[in-house]
Amino acid sequence: MSPTYDQMLEPKQKFKPVRRYGKSDYFHFDIIRSLRYKNYLKFESDMLADIIIAEYKVRQTLQQKETLERKIRALEKLPKNDEDEKRFQLCHQELEIVKRNQGLNEQKMFADESMIPPGPLKRDYDAMRQDPTWYLRKELIEDCVGRGGCCARGCDCCKNRAFAYYKRGVGHCTAGCGFCASERGFEYTAGEKQRTVEQLDKMLRSHNPSYVVKMAEAYFAKPPEQKVQKVPEQVQREKAQKKQVWWKQLL
Ligand SMILES: [Zn+2]
Ligand SMILES: [Zn+2]
Ligand SMILES: [Zn+2]
């Protein structure tokens, strides 16, 4: 009998891979890639992967847009020489492209979200997003730390996004985060940003269900109330007094 990933996962997981996940089906037509939710609902993991990727891309273009807008505001304040004027024009051109991509990414996310069958999974997904800090969950903070995002540095950028005026695209750093870029000392090219999306895609659609299960749990499974990591305002006040790495307090 082939080993089941089921036995390797924590019993409290709400998403579990079906038996023979990643193996070919009986007729050798397809690779089996279904997840069970709460033991009784079965979904193709591709449906969940599509949404997670679409959401990442919305976040990425939103973070790029914010970075460019910040740059434009800074350049506006400077007395302009020819070089600044050129940079200013380039930022505006780039912003136009990013805004178009942002629009398209939002359309794609809407299309992918519309594929969630109305029922328990959709209900949990919507309920979770009522809380603007939903993404400050252990799994996603760890993911951001692992990618070298702002959560790895304790600069509060990810936490602060929860209080932004927009609702969609709120979350952890992507390859488009301007704060991460300043920390690195360079910005990723369009091609490099695309590669991070491709890598995410590969991980989520792998024959090994480990990553898709972890992310499905974080994006779709409503945690028990006490598990939602609300960031108390007090943390922000305390931070001003003593420098602390806030995410470590949440883990
Ligand atoms: Zn930061
Ligand atoms: Zn960042
Ligand atoms: Zn983060």
Residue 224 pLDDT: 64
Neighbours of ion ligand 3 (CB under 5 A): 144, 149-151, 158, 172
Ligand nearest to the CA of 170: 3
User: Which tokens sit at 159?
Assistant: 């936490």
Cβ atoms of 138 and 250 closer than 8 Å = yes
Ligand 2 mean position, distance from CA 119 (Å): 35
How many CA atoms does the CB half-sphere of 181 hold within 13 Å? Answer: 18
Residue 237 pLDDT: 52
Cβ atoms of 90 and 137 closer than 8 Å = no
Confidence band for 220, pLDDT divided at 50, 70 and 90: very high
How confident is the model over 109-125, as a mean pLDDT? 95
Ligand 3 mean position, distance from CA 144 (Å): 5
Ligand 2 mean position, distance from CA 179 (Å): 5
* Least reliable range by pLDDT among 10-24, 51-65, 234-248: 234-248
Model pTM?
Answer: 0.85
